[in-house]
A and B are shown apart, each in its own frame.
Chain A
Amino acid sequence: MRWKYFIPTVVITALIVVFNVLFLDYVLKLSIIATGEMIFGAKVEVSSVKTRFGNLSIDIKGLKAANKGDVFKNLFEIDEIRFSVKPAPLLSMKVIIDEMAVDGVKWATKRDSSGALPPVKQAKYARQQQKDDKNGFFSKLSDKILDKGKSQFGQLPALGDIKNSQQQFKNFSFDKAISAEDLQSVKELETMKQGVNDKYSKYQDRLKKLDADDNINKAAAQVSDLSKIKVSSPQDVQALKTKLDGLNGTKDELDKSAKELQNLRAQAESDFGSDKDLLANINELKDNDIKALSAKYKLPSFTTTGVAGALFGPVWLSRVQKAIYYVGVVRKYMPPRKKNAKTATVQGARGTDVSFPKADTPPDFLISKTSLSGTTGGAGKEGTPLDFKGEIDDITSDQSQLGRPTTFEINGVMGPKTLKASGNFDHRTDDASDTFNFTYTGLTAKEMNLPKSEYLPSFDKGEGKVNGNFTMRGEDIDASVDIVLTNFQLPDADKTDEAKNIVASLWSGIDSIAVTAKLTGKIDKIDIAVSSNIDKTLSDRLTKLYGEKIAEIQNKIRSEVDRLTNEKKAEVTAQYNAKRNELMNAFTGKQKELQEKTDELSKMKDSKENEAKNLVSNAKKQAEDLTEAQKKQAEARAEAAKKQAQEQLDAEKKKAEEAAKKQAEEEVKKKAQQQLKGLFGQ
């Protein structure tokens, strides 16, 4: 042993421990900042971190995380976080906190400096996030929603163009007819027509390639062959048996062909689908064609859904995208676990971490109860703030181990304002479910953060209510929001400002706005709907503002597109029905043929089997009769032999009796002579 190294080792170890004890606060602060920046992708600041070894408590003050989407605002800020860690579980690398207090929560507060990370760090965290997001599901979903929104929500034209447009379209006429070749919907219908032909050819080829015809012919030959065989002797039965075995084999092949044909038919039916499925997307393509033509002729478009979507859609979608992002973060740090899985695996930077939770032991990370308090106010925010309180229960790394989901509830009341929010994050099985709801009433119009648009007036007064729901079960998403704004005061018309004048005329007489936005579906099919109570009013007024001529042109475009697509639609539908019916009839015919041949085969087989059976039973009966006759003969012989034996026995007996009788008489005579001799002496 090198004892001379013992003291230096102890000293170095002691120094390391002392260093950690003295600088633990600083190290923790750096860790919180680094982790926060990685999660939120923006600057994170902490004023101070204080640890106490006596009760293993930690006190974090002045935590701020910037908003990467708006770098001069904070995503959230928290005045103070206080908690104590239980000592014993720490030895097993488990962080268990019974109670945590989070005070002074605020969001969207103003920052004095930019919260953007340096480009190098940003790129590093973006790469890390991409790597961690296993198949990029949440980012792909977010992008899909954005693309869907862009294609669905058009943009309204600039207000200033209204008067010019009236003049522009006053003497408008179509210089040439709309060509079918320009229409996406017509091209798609042509592609569909080709698709129907291709499918038809494909299934016809596959039908021909099936062995059905060969098997039918083979069965026919075997039946003919078999019909010529007459079963008249036991030797014929053996030959018949060989033929019947062959017939059974052919029957199996016919059955197999019938099954293959049935499967192919089912595939064809599924592939062809119904004519409704065929033409499902056509209406959407027609709308796109109308939009494209309107853009070509520089026509503004004011469908009822278009107005609400254009005004409120993009903002609504950006809120949903944020919600999806945070659900992704929650699912990453509280991963769902497969039901009944005894272990859980998490892919790390190097290797995979496998956890081995024991029943009835706490998970690796748990905050049982978090008391929350905060305000809706803060730096850079207008209006009267609302103070709220709430609780978050069971924040954990392994809900399956804990056996409970993470829930939260927040409430706040201040005068006419109320805030209620609640949520449930259930990741106990691999079919995770994340839900949260909120209702915020008594807002002022300014506090509602309505989207900025030159078509929307600035609502000086007014009261608002927002009611939102978000649910994500597995990969299914269902999000909705209802916004109601009442008692607002619109600005007066201003004859010197054309734009203000137009806005005033658009909104005149409208005293409430109710907007409903809904998003449902999965990543491969997302449905977005945005509507409001003022859609039709705004749409009609906008159309009127732009003049009736434009409405006329728009209607003409629509009817032209309808005419061209309807002609093509009829063609495609007729083609589809004809080919489908022809193909199904071919299937039916072939199936009938197979069935007939199978029945014929079975009938011939049964007939020949009966013939053979009859032959065998006759032979058996003959053999039985012969046996019966032989049996009777044998019985008769036996009877005769028995009788003869009996007679012989009787004769012998009689003979023996006579011999015995004679002997007895001799003896008696002898005895009598002796007695006489004895009496009279000699």
Chain B
Amino acid sequence: MFRSVIIGQYYPVESPVHALDPRTKILITFAFIVVLFVANNPAMYAVLAGFTLCSVALSKVPPRLIIRGLRPILFILVFTLTLHLFMTQGEELFRIGPLVASKEGVVQGVYIAVRLILLLFTTSLLTLTTSPISLTDGLESLMKPFSRVGVPAHELAMMMTIALRFIPTLMEEAERVMKAQMARGADFESGHILQRAKSLVPLLVPLFVSAFRRADDLAMAMEARCYRGGENRTRMKQLHAGQRDVVAGAATLLVVSLVVFMRWGVR
């Protein structure tokens, strides 16, 4: 049976953003999110929004995919907006029963909403332009200096890689077990919530048992290939930060400095 699983949201296409070193992208995203919470007037938001839109354009990712990323938080957006609208004290705009909508409320609500939207756009952009493996490699590289203070950078990266490797395999196995149990009359679909939770036992137990066995086998195979942890281990793939990364980093630094200056620079 043909099986093609696309993990995560990665959208493979050639673009300047895709070509960046994953570490650069992770750091930019991080910096952007931090500065997002510094902004507190329309001008600053405009600068940040402009930066985001430029990045999206450069990434050659279809905008609809990025907008689709908003779907999960749509409810939160509306909820937050409504909350701020009615909970903030200020000049009354209109009222619904006992609830008073204020002008300040509108402003606050919109600010928060814009913040959430830009936050989501940026993180979506990160996962759309960086494959899970690249992300893992980038994170490992960034964490490595901290391994001296006890952060298990290599182990975490190894765990992520193995998890990613086995997702399609485990999905296939889950399907197989499900079919085997259905052939024995198991019903995963009908019944109320508690019944359905209980009916998952014949699916979950075999998967767990099998996962432990896999782990055992895999550990043995890794040892047989001389794996002994991250010490003295080299990597075939090397991350190379190049000119592009310097440019992207500089651009980000500019934007961040600008917003910080706008916030605290003019007194």
A, B co-complexed = no
List residues of chain B with CB under 8 Å of any chain A CB: none
List residues of chain A with CB under 8 Å of any chain B CB: none
